[in-house]
Amino acid sequence: MTAKDNFLRWENSDNLDSTLREEMSKMSEQEINDAFYTNIEFGTAGMRGVMGAGTNRINIHTIRKATAGFANYIKNNGQEAMNRGVAIGYDNRHFSKEFAFDSAHVLASNGIRAYVFESLRPTPELSFATRYKNCFGGIMITASHNPREYNGYKLYDEKGCQLVPALADAVIKEVNAIEDELSVKADVTKEQESLIEVIGKEVDDAYYEKVKSIQLNPNVNKDFIKIIFSPEHGTANIPVREILKDCGYHVIPVLEQCDPNPDFANTKTPNPEQEGAYELALEYAKREQGDIILVCDPDADRMGVGVKQGDEYILLTGNQSGAVLIEYILSQLQEKGKMPENPVMFNTVVTSDLGEKIAKKYGVVTEKTLTGFKFIGEKIAKYEVNHLRNYVFGYEESYGSLISPFVRDKDAPQACLMLAETACFYKAQGKTLYDVLEDCYKEHGFYKETQTSITLAGQAGAEKIQSIMSRLRTSRLESICGKKVISWQDFDTFEEGCENEVKPLEGFTKSNVLKYFLEDGSWIAVRPSGTEPKVKVYYCIVGSTMEEAEQKAKEYETFMKGLMNE
């Protein structure tokens, strides 16, 4: 169907939501094309997109279609799966609560039990709830760190892990089999209504206790550190403040950003990867002389860190905070004789090499996965069964980590508690978190990790992204800024090459990622985002000094930006 065909199908339907109908009446031709030219993609990461009317938008009808497909997948797995049901969580965004309870009704209308949180909760707590309630799956309504006009839909398996490709493909097949999203209704009988249970405090208490159990030095002197905390209007507000308070930490909340405002009224951006997320927290920190700043994204799976260094505050990247956590956790496990046999750490193919070098120092093997914490969750589950390795840490460069795997997704409340402990531990030695990072640089090499992206929205943007990736595969890069490409990996074609030799790339599922390894020890990776209309370029640049690494990073970025814009 063309965009116009889809538009007319919606316009002529008796089932169309009245609010969406009104929105459609005001659409321009270009807006109609972007909103209706395709169906919003339901991929291995679920759905994420701009809210509004259209088949290519997040709205009550596209959410219902996704949930109906998930319901059919569950029914295919039998009555036991239906009885175990689905846990449902949601964040602070516009319509998140409505989408969550509507999804519960769609499930119940299909005879499937649903456990819905009474109010907004973090994504990691949804993962925990799926396991705690012994559900067959989970749904999280969230657009994570995206701007306010976005919302999204994540699916979880019975282990509390986002669906890996094999499971996602089965769900996608069921979702795509539903041709008319407007035909899906959420009407339930009185008997079906009884399948919906609202959950809250019981799960909260159990989750909080598990988070508090990760402490390695619970008696560390907490009088050393003053913490500035912002949930960026999102779901971390209550759990992080409660957990840190229970553990005795001194926390000053950024009050203007503690209410669950769906418009994110008091922050430039809810994304901890961007400096705008820290502006108000930095004002608090300077006024209160805070030692560290902790900032969570709206669904509380990502966490950013700021550190007082002299009279200034330095914002750590996800790679940097991950490195500090690895150094602290592994050193303490070793010192206390608690390091398990055959320890393993997980990170992704676009995560810095620094963490791997630190882990190696402590005898910990690093295994890499594709981008997406579901792949780390999949690895955890594998070793939980065969016991060949024991998990000690997992993280991504995108500000997400998991200390203890009672959750199977990134967990900002865990990370906040462990960073608070880490800061207190090193403050007692006269060190800041940034001092610890610099010690790691001096020992393992100076790494400058950065990321650039090109946003290409709409149908034309999607075609441009495909063109960029096709061109890179057709014309292999042999050098970048005069540095020879000594090897490359293509996670889409399952190939890796060195000189003139090409061999199979094993151990990964298919993903549209290209990675180039340079003769100076640096690497660059190119990857279209799975959740935003962007092409992302990741840089892990190593130098003998930080100045050298930073200068090389600027040169590489300039080169790659030019290449992307050709």
234 and 113 housed in the same domain: no
pLDDT (tens, 9 = 90+) of the chain, 566 residues, equals: 899 999 999 999 999 999 999 999 999 999 999 999 999 988 777 899 999 999 999 999 999 999 999 999 999 999 999 999 999 999 999 999 999 999 999 999 999 999 999 999 999 999 999 999 999 999 999 999 999 999 999 999 999 999 999 999 999 999 999 999 999 999 999 999 999 999 999 999 999 999 999 999 999 999 989 999 999 999 999 999 999 999 999 999 999 999 999 999 999 999 999 999 999 999 999 999 999 999 999 999 999 999 999 999 999 999 999 999 999 999 999 999 999 999 999 999 999 999 999 999 999 999 999 989 999 999 999 999 999 999 999 999 999 999 999 999 999 999 999 999 999 999 999 999 999 999 999 999 999 999 888 888 777 888 888 899 999 998 889 999 999 999 999 999 999 998 789 999 998 988 999 999 999 999 999 998 876 788 899 999 999 999 999 999 999 999 998 888 77
- Do 326 and 474 lie in one domain? The reply is no
> Tokens 């791997």 sit at which residue?
356
Of 304, 377, 367, the residue nearest 124 (C-alpha): 377
Q: Is 550 inside a domain boundary?
A: yes
Q: How many CA atoms lie within 13 A of 239 on its CB side?
A: 35
- Name the region of 91 (left: φ>0; alpha: ψ -120 to 50; beta: rest): beta
| 473 in a structural domain | yes
Phi, psi of 143 (to 5 degrees): -115, 20
3-class DSSP state of 77:
coil
Do the domain assignments include residue 516? Answer: yes
Residue 312: give the domain boundaries. 208-444
Within 26-66, strands assigned E span 47-50
The helix (run of H) or strand (run of E) holding residue 50 is: strand 47-50
Task: Please state, in angstroms and as integers, the Cα–Cα distance from residue 310 to each residue in 95, 280, 328, 355, following that order.
Answer: 44, 20, 22, 26
Taking the C-alpha atoms of residue 76 and residue 92, their distance in angstroms, rounded to an integer, is 32
Q: Output the pTM of the full model.
A: 0.94
* Shared domain check, 535 and 560: yes
User: Which DSSP letter does residue 162 get?
Assistant: B
Residues comprising the chain, all counted? 566
- Which amino acids are annotated catalytic? 144
* Structure confidence at residue 63 (pLDDT): 98
Q: Are residues 80 and 113 in the same domain?
A: yes
Give the E-state strand segments of 523-564 in sequence order: 523-528, 534-543
CATH code for position 456: 3.30.310.50
State the pairing for strand pair 523-528/514-518: antiparallel
521 close to 542: Cβ distance less than 8 angstroms = yes
Residue 203 lies in a domain: no
- Cα–Cα distance measured from residue 225 to residue 360, given in angstroms and rounded to the nearest whole number: 30
Tokens 């996608």 found at: 172
Tell me which of 142, 170, 185 is where a domain ends.
185
Query: Are 428 and 532 part of one and the same domain?
Result: no
DSSP 256: G
Whether residue 215 sits in one domain with residue 147 = no
Widest pairwise Cα distance in the chain: 70
Please give the tally of structural domains in the chain: 3
CB-based contacts of 205, cutoff 8 Å, min separation 6: none
Among residues 63, 49, 142, which one has the least CA distance to residue 104?
A: 63
Residue 498 has which token pair? 């060195």
400 and 463 assigned to the same domain: no
Token reading at 149: 């006009």
**Sign of the alpha-carbon dihedral angle for 426, 432, 434, 436:** negative
According to DSSP, residue 255 is labeled: G
Tokens read off for 223: 């009088």
The 3-class SS string of 489-528 reads EECCCCEEEECCEEEECCCCCCCCCEEEEECCCCEEEEEE
- Let me know whether 379 and 526 are in one domain: no
Report the distance separating Cα 267 and Cα 300, nearest Å.
16
Say whether both 458 and 552 belong to one domain.
yes
Residue 510 and residue 378 share a domain? no
Q: Give the torsion sign (CA, 47, 51, 53, 54).
A: negative
The single-letter DSSP state of residue 41 is P
Shared domain for 410 and 492, answered yes or no, is no
- Domain membership of residue 190 (yes or no) is no
Do residues 117 and 88 touch, judged by C-beta distance below 8 A? yes
Any domain includes 497? yes
Tell me the CB-side half-sphere exposure of residue 12, using CA atoms within 13 A: 7
Identify the bridge partners of residue 526 per DSSP, sorted by sequence position.
514, 537
Measured over the CA atoms of residue 129, residue 131, residue 133 and residue 137, the dihedral's sign is: positive
Give the pLDDT confidence score for residue 396 in this predicted structure: 96
Round to whole Å and give the CA distance between 451 and 318: 11
CATH number, position 408: 3.40.120.10
In degrees and rounded to multiples of 5, residue 75 shows phi and psi of -60, -35
Q: Are residues 141 and 230 in the same domain?
A: no
